[in-house]
């Protein structure tokens, strides 16, 4: 017999979000899953080289439309999960490439998200932590400074291989945040890279340094929810998500 059924909007009834995740990323999906509970969160993997250099980052733009096309048409906001890639390719170019396949969707990336979060929290001076080689860190620092932010302190793990970054212990990232905060007065600390684990130590770092802690994954998740017009309060750790509490 042919069975009857009722239809609804499926798993994405509350909202559908898309993520373009690096092939080598081991961190973003587990961290963002804790923020997007109750929503449809759909991932597509973009090919990338294992080493993080300006040339390998720029090459990802060739795969961006094809990867975006793998996401379902229901997604209303798409995040490109690479801070250094968005820096080298350019946030505007990233959005344009994504919207070739999803013209109806909002698009963001960690650099755009960090700038939005800094504006939201009235941040002008940043303590800046990266895992990158000097050339990549310098490009990101330049983009942040062009946007009007001052770097009050800086430190990097100086790693070229993305999978090495995924293995950096959170206690090492916490120590790095504290060291950078001690270099000079800052309004917030930014730890860059979607592959750098941080959700387990954000609130501890804020307590130790006395300022909000922003990370690539934290800001990206927050910005995606904001672009969708969804509540952010309490969905993630730290001062950024607490700032939206009524």
pLDDT tens-digit readout, 9-49: 788 888 899 999 999 999 999 999 999 999 999 999 999 99
The answer on pLDDT for 226 being more than 80 is yes
Least confident of 4-8, 71-75, 136-140, 237-241: 4-8
Q: For 64, left (φ over 0), alpha (ψ -120 to 50), or beta?
A: alpha
Contact 191, 129 (CB under 8 A): yes
Q: Supply 162's token pair.
A: 């993305």
Provide the pLDDT confidence category of residue 245 given band limits of 50, 70 and 90: confident
Q: Which residues contact 166 (CB under 8 A, 6 or more apart)?
A: 24, 25, 26, 27, 195, 196, 197
pLDDT digits (tens, 9 = 90+) for 122-150: 999 999 999 999 999 999 999 999 999 99
Q: Which residues contact 173 (CB under 8 A, 6 or more apart)?
A: 129, 191, 196, 197, 198, 201
Query: Around Cβ 201, how many Cβ atoms within 10 Å?
Result: 23
Q: Tell me what the mean pLDDT of segment 204-212 comes to.
A: 98
Q: Supply 176's token pair.
A: 């790095």
**pLDDT over 70, % of the chain:** 100
Q: Using CA atoms, how far apart are residues 224 and 110, in angstroms rounded to an integer?
A: 10
Can you give the pLDDT at residue 198? 97
Q: Please give, one letter per residue, the 3-state secondary structure of 53-104.
A: CHHHHHHHHHCHHHHHCCCCCCCCEEEEECHHHHHHHCHHHHHHHHHCCCCC
Provide the pLDDT confidence category of residue 157 given band limits of 50, 70 and 90: very high
Q: Using CA atoms, how far apart are residues 171 and 179, in angstroms rounded to an integer?
A: 12
Indicate the pTM of the whole model: 0.96
Can you give the pLDDT at residue 246? 52
User: Which domains can be identified in the chain, with CATH numbers?
Assistant: 15-109+219-234 (3.40.50.12500), 112-216 (3.40.50.1860)
Q: Using CA atoms, how far apart are residues 110 and 116, in angstroms rounded to an integer?
A: 10
pLDDT digits (tens, 9 = 90+) for 39-50: 999 999 999 998
Q: Supply 154's token pair.
A: 């800086």
pLDDT digits (tens, 9 = 90+) for 196-207: 999 999 999 999
Can you give the pLDDT at residue 7? 84
How far, CA to CA in Å, does 6 sit from each of 3, 77, 162, 200?
10, 27, 46, 41
Contact 52, 156 (CB under 8 A): no
DSSP 137-148: HHHHHHHHHHTT
The answer on pLDDT for 168 being more than 80 is yes
């Amino acid at each position: 017999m042919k069975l009857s059924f009722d239809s609804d909007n499926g798993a994405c009834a509350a909202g559908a979000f898309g993520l373009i995740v690096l092939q080598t990323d081991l961190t973003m999906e587990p961290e963002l899953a804790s923020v997007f509970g109750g929503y449809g969160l759909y991932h597509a993997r973009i090919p990338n080289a294992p080493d993080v250099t300006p040339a390998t980052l720029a090459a990802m733009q060739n795969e961006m439309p094809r990867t975006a096309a793998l996401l379902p048409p229901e997604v209303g906001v798409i995040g490109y999960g690479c801070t250094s890639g968005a820096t080298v390719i350019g946030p505007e170019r990233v959005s344009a490439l994504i919207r070739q396949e999803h013209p109806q969707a909002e698009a963001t990336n960690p650099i755009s998200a960090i700038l939005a979060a800094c504006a939201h929290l009235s941040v002008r001076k940043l303590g800046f932590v990266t895992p990158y080689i000097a050339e990549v860190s310098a490009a990101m620092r330049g983009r942040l400074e062009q946007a009007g932010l001052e770097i009050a302190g800086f430190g990097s793990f100086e790693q070229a291989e993305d999978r090495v970054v995924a293995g950096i212990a959170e206690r090492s990232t916490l120590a790095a945040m504290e060291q950078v905060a001690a270099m000079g007065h800052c309004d917030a600390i930014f730890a860059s890279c979607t592959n750098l684990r941080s959700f387990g130590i954000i609130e501890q770092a804020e307590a130790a340094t006395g300022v909000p802690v922003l990370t690539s994954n934290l800001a990206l998740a927050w910005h995606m929810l904001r672009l969708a017009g969804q509540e952010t309060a309490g969905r993630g750790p730290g001062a950024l998500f607490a700032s939206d509490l009524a």
